[in-house]
Homo-oligomer: A and B are copies of this chain.
């Protein structure tokens, strides 16, 4: 299961109590942050999210509303005696920003930041462990910008207990779960794997795409994704403004969801011109009905 909690849903100018972009992600006992807009630490405290658990932070791009909460979070982790390494995935430059601020405040953190620079322009797997992978999604914005695709690895097949012959050994169970056939002492296949096992539960996937102009080329990479967060800074009446500023509209986000066979869409990064978000939601739902607003404090769960 992956759980995504919305920490900030605002566009560049925070308004109506909405904070800039940030999401807290829990999956298979991993704890991640995607973007870290100003006030992220206060929002996490407000929602009782234990930010000391965060192991990796993924920053999409170096516009202020996506990273200005990072330095405060690092200082608070330091003051709370964090010692565990923190991995930071971002475009080059964020390391300079951190170093300059540490230098000016005559501070050094009591934990190590491992900085992983993101390469511009191509899809890369930037994190992998035994449960999941994270790959970059090249986005199309005014500066280098990357989305992130979180994918659970295929899980082991399930043993069909009703069909299991007696006297089976533990290593044979493991081999069956891994998809191998059952082989007897003579090296002969005694049972085909599919005779004794059931398909594994489906693996989840989650794509985060912000900020970006409408860009259909991402649809192929995120095809079939369970959950897509896509920015929808503007409504359709501001289409021209969206194009000028390399942002998306509600309809853009909904079209990406359709083209990528997304199961569920969340829209966010709302412009400060929208106090009431109901019309924003309605406009996206007219094209892609299974759309939700990114509401701060709300958690979206997928998988099992």
Contact = CB atoms under 8 A, between A and B. Distances in A.
Interface of A: 12-15, 17, 19-20, 38-39, 41-42, 45-46, 62-65, 68-69, 71-72, 75-76, 79-80, 93-94, 96-97, 100-101, 103-107, 142-143
Nearest to A101: B97
Contacts of A42: 14, 17, 19, 38-39
A38 B94 contact: no
19 contacts: A12-B75, A12-B76, A12-B79, A14-B42, A17-B46, A19-B42, A20-B72, A38-B38, A38-B39, A38-B72, A39-B39, A39-B42, A62-B104, A64-B72, A64-B75, A68-B71, A93-B104, A96-B100, A96-B104
Given A69-B38, A97-B100, A100-B97, A105 B45 contact: no
Closest 7 CB pairs of A and B: A93-B104, A39-B39, A38-B72, A64-B75, A62-B104, A100-B100, A106-B143
A263 B291 CA distance: 58
A177 to B, nearest CB: 46
A6 to B, nearest CB: 16
Given A63-B107, A96-B104, 11 more contacts: A14-B72, A15-B45, A38-B38, A39-B42, A62-B104, A62-B106, A65-B75, A68-B68, A94-B104, A97-B104, A106-B142
Nearest to A64: B75
Most B Cβ at <10 Å: residue of A75, A105, A143: A105
Contacts of A63: 105, 107
B41 A14 contact: yes
